[in-house]
Amino acid sequence: MQLAMQNVSKRYGGGNWALRDFTLNLGPGVLGLLGPNGAGKTTLMSILATITRATEGNVLWNGVDVAVSPDQLRATLGYLPQDFGVYPNLNAMEFLQYLSAVKGLDAAASRRRIDELLNLVNLTDVRKRPLGGFSGGMKQRVGIAQALLNDPQLLIVDEPTAGLDPEERVRFRNLLSELSGERIVILSTHIVSDVEATATDIALISQGTLVAHASPEELLRQVEGKVWEWILPSADLNSARQRYLISNTARRSDGVHARVLADAPPASAAAVTPNLEDAYLYCLSQHRSAAATPVAAEVLA
């Protein structure tokens, strides 16, 4: 089981490149696709889900070009789009039955699976209520259930925890971890804690390009010795922000405790253990400075 993205680029009308030369090979496991808003995550998800076509490059599913044989991927794809709707007059069971018919699944087997999925996402008690009356979180759970209908080998979930409350988020993360096994799960999000809890691999994407692809441990190693806790007076915080990358602040009685990402520590700052959010911010800032440098040089010239 392998999903390969080879130099995938996507240009929208007006010449906007949402993705540039994106290359990544994936095997079974959970890939956390992290990036800021507008980084190109949803575009990449749409290409992988065969919703949109790459302008350049190829996506290969088990060695077969998706552009040539999209149904080979679709047959084994579970997709939860970022923005999706439901038919308000159908109930959860009917909606899943409808989608199982659309996906061409065996009727008897899908009936059993729908019951299990509704149980899994804890919607059994409300399975006969029209979806129009569901809250955002409940609809999201219906979306999760439909993505798992066909027992997918490739599960793509785009911002799946949007609209879920903290308890639901934790449970969804657990579900993803349990589901991973012998399948490829791509979890696109900008919520670092979701990825931290579930991902076996992380791909950082920014401005349409792949910034880093590594395990969480490798990413964390990159920022080891570069994260500091600095206690400073409140009045100095703004000037500190201009000089350093600060990932977090907390006001205490002795001043502001700032979490600083820097190669060299500010005076009197103490080293702390990095977390994934630090690694994410550090990698992005490095990428942005690298991208800005040639432009700056050009302007100066």
Partner 1 sequence: MNSAHVLYHMVRADFLERVRRYSFLVTLAGALLIAYGVAAEKIWIVVGNGYRGVYNSAWIGVLMAVCCSTFLSLAGFYIVKNSVQRDVDTRVGQVLAATAMRKDFYAVAKTLSNFAVLACMVVILMLAAVVMQLMQAESHSFSLWHLWAPFIFLSMPTMLLTASLALLFEMLPGLRGGFGNVVYFFLWTAGIGLGAAGTDDPSGMQLLYRSSRETLQAIDPTSPQNFHFSLTIGGEQAVRTFVWEGIHWTGSVLLMRLLWISVAFLIALATSLFFHRFDPARSWRRKSPASGKTSNGTSVATTPVPSAVSASAIHLTPMPSRDAGSPFGRLVVSELKLMLKGLRWWWYTGAVGILIGELVSPTPIARSGFLVAAWIWPLLLWSQMGCREARHATTGLLYSSERSITRQFPAVWTAGFLVALLTGSGFALRLLLSSDLHGFAAWLAGAAFIPSLALALGVWSGSSRAFEALYTVWWYMGPAHQMPGLDFMGITPASSSPAGYAIAAGALLAISYWGRRSRMAYV
- Among positions 210-249, residues that touch partner 1 (CB under 8 A) are none
Site for partner 1 in 41-70 (CB under 8 A): 46-47, 49-53, 66-67, 70
- Closest approach, Cβ 35 to partner 1, in A, equals 20
Per-residue interface string for the shown chain with partner 1, residues 166-185, x marking contact by CB under 8 A: -xx--xx-xx--xx------
How far apart are the C-alpha atoms of 140 and 220, rounded to whole Å? 31
Q: Looking up tokens 């096994």, which residue turns up? A: 181
Torsion 277-27-161-39 (CA) sign: positive
- Listing from the earlier edge strand, what are the strands of the sheet with 255-261? 245-252, 255-261, 227-232, 270-271
Binding range to partner 1, per CB under 8 A, among 130-138, 257-265, 272-280, 290-298: 130-138
Query: Any contact of residue 116 with partner 1 (CB under 8 A)?
Result: yes
Q: Ramachandran region of residue 151, left (φ > 0), alpha (ψ -120 to 50) or beta?
A: left
88, 224, 239, 289: residue in contact with partner 1 (rule CB under 8 A): 88
Query: Any contact of residue 74 with partner 1 (CB under 8 A)?
Result: yes
- Closest approach, Cβ 22 to partner 1, in A, equals 16
36, 56, 84, 255: residue in contact with partner 1 (rule CB under 8 A): 84
Binding range to partner 1, per CB under 8 A, among 18-26, 32-40, 102-110, 292-300: 102-110
Size of site (CB under 8 A) for partner 1: 75
How far apart are the C-alpha atoms of 20 and 226, rounded to whole Å? 30
Question: For residues 37 and 190, is the Cβ–Cβ distance under 8 A?
Answer: yes
Angle of helix 166-180 relative to helix 136-147, nearest 10 degrees, comes to: 0
- Closest approach, Cβ 255 to partner 1, in A, equals 38
